[in-house]
Amino acid sequence: MNTTKRIFMVLAIAITVTAAAQDKKPASPAAKATGTINGANITINYSSPYVKGRAIWGELVPYGKVWRAGANAPTTFETDKALKVEGQDLPAGKYALYVIPEKDDATIIFGKDPSVGANRYDQAKDQLRVKVKTRKSAEINESLVYKINNDNVTLSWEYLDISVRIK
Q: Under a CB-based contact definition with an 8 Å cutoff, are residues 28 and 61 in contact?
A: no
- pLDDT value at residue 19: 46
pLDDT, tens digit, for every residue of 58-71?
999 999 999 999 99
Nearest CA to 109 out of 128, 95, 90 is that of 128
Q: How far apart are CA 161 and CA 63, in angstroms?
A: 15
Percent of the chain surpassing pLDDT 90: 79
Residues 63/31/34/133 CA torsion (nearest 10 deg): -10
- Using the predicted structure, report yes or no on whether residue 166 has a pLDDT greater than 50: yes
pLDDT, tens digit, for every residue of 75-118?
999 999 999 999 999 999 999 999 999 999 999 999 999 988 77
Reported pTM: 0.84
- pLDDT value at residue 116: 84
DSSP result, the chain: --HHHHHHHHHHHHHHHHHHHHH---SS-EEEEEEEETTEEEEEEEE--B-TT--TBTTTB-TTS-B-SSSSSPPEEEESS-EEETTEEE-SEEEEEEEEE-SSEEEEEEES-TT--GGG--GGGEEEEEEEEEEEEEEEEEEEEEEE-SSEEEEEEEEEEEEEEB-
Considering only residues 19 and 77, tell me which one the structure prediction assigns the higher pLDDT: 77
One-letter amino acid at 98 equals Y
Domain parsing of the chain, residue ranges = 27-165
Mean pLDDT (the chain) is 90
- For residue 89, what are the contacts with CB-CB under 8 A and spacing of at least 6? 82, 83, 128
